[in-house]
Amino acid sequence: MLTASARHALSRPAFAPSTLCARRAVSAWAKVPAGPPDPILGVTEKFKADKSPKKINLGVGAYRDGNGKPYVLPTVLKAEEIVFNAKLDKEYLPITGLASFTKLAAELAYGKDSKPLVEDRLAITQSISGTGALRIGTAFLARFYPGAKAIYLPTPTWGNHIPIAKDSGLEVKQYKYFNKETVGLDFEGMKADIKAAPEGSIIMLHACAHNPTGIDPTEAQWKELSEIVKEKKHFPFFDMAYQGFASGDILKDAFAVRYFVEQGHQLLLSQSFAKNMGLYGERVGAVSFVCADKEEKARVDSQLKIIVRPLYSNPPVHGARLVSTILSSPELYDEWLVEVKGMADRIIAMRSKLYDTLVRLDTPGEWGHIKSQIGMFSYTGLKPEQVDALAEKAHVYLTRDGRISMAGLNDSNVEYFAESVSKAVKGTL
């Protein structure tokens, strides 16, 4: 039989309530600050919450067909059937990826007859899309670039460029690119800033379809930039996420990269197959380094493996097999060229319709940049308060810097969007 003192001891809780509360309040993550919301995801969330049948989402950078639906390329569907019927295994890929994929990706970017390929001095690894390519490239530069560990980015640039570079250990600096007054390229400012950068600086360049402005240098301007970069002994780092998708011509879109290589630049290139093959969720990309010779290529390859191994060990296989299947089949390759041109042409057609409607509605301002810009995105020149009005009163969603994804427009909504923009600019929305 328990004594009175024993019964009293058993009736008490193991820990006093105040002690339990104190223990619950002390979390390992108690002092983690809330990060800023992603501006594009925020636009999508507001769009999804909107119940209006007229709502339009122009924030997301993914292609949509003429009905506003996600588009899977017919060649991708055919490639999937071929891969499925081949009954391939699911073994790990090598650290640098699927060899047939990296070979074909390099040929697509540089051209089969490019000297670095012919002379076997191109180091290349498969990556987790363009973001992964950029991360590998910046990590490599942070470890091994002999010059200053700083990278010059255009103003503005793709939002992810900055955190990728910073997280890899590079200091981020900027050069002029966009002229707000003309809604065009500030070429003189761009040249001046690149010239003013210390000799041997790393210069990030968008190969085509500059994101977010949609404004590219002309071929003549690219040639001038090549001379400046060579004169200053700068290191060019090209980001090519839209080859073929920008103009509909894979050769035209690769002009800058190929010209710089022809001129002897030892460049670094990031590639993505998200846009031009619609393989957004497959995460297929590549990063390549033009080396001086085969021996240097072997050393660069060895260090790429050391960077990749602790990041994700090796890349996913399915998307790489799809790209390899399409690029290695003459029939599928030709079909893909037609498909990618079709996507580009639809966006170009939307640019023309938007411009024509804005002009017909006597919208204040000059809107020629809508047609002259290229690729998925357009910098409209709309002010933040006009963007806010479009969301609140017209159910049209875009980022507050006025950037729109042209792929979100189609024959069913372009007229309504143009009318809404015209009213927002006039202040009558």
The residue length of the chain stands at 429
- Catalytic annotation, pick one of 275, 297, 353, 423: 275
Q: What is the pLDDT of residue 23?
A: 55
Active site residue 120: no
169 Rama class: left (phi>0) / alpha (psi -120 to 50) / beta: left
The closest alpha carbon to 151, from 168, 129, 136, belongs to: 168
pLDDT value at residue 19: 52
How many CB atoms sit inside 10 A of residue 46's CB?
A: 16
pLDDT mean for each 10 residues of the chain (429 residues): 52 52 74 87 87 92 90 97 96 97 98 97 98 98 96 95 96 96 94 97 97 94 98 98 93 97 97 96 98 98 98 97 98 97 94 96 94 91 94 94 93 96 94
pLDDT of residue 37: 81
Do 74 and 103 touch, CB atoms closer than 8 A? no
Place of tokens 């006025």: 402
Token pair 């040249």 is at which residue?
191
- Contact assessment for residue 257 and residue 110, using Cβ atoms and an 8 Å cutoff: yes
Catalytic residue among 186, 216, 239, 253: 239
pLDDT of residue 38: 80
The DSSP code sequence of 142-170 is: HHH-SS-SEEEEEES--TTHHHHHHHTTP
Establish whether 239 is a catalytic residue: yes
Q: Say which residue the tokens 């399915």 belong to.
A: 318
Q: Is 195 a catalytic residue?
A: no
pTM equals: 0.90
Candidates 226, 184, 186; CA nearest to 205 is 226
Q: How high is the pLDDT of residue 36?
A: 86
pLDDT of residue 216: 96
Helices (H) and strands (E) in the chain, counts: 18, 13
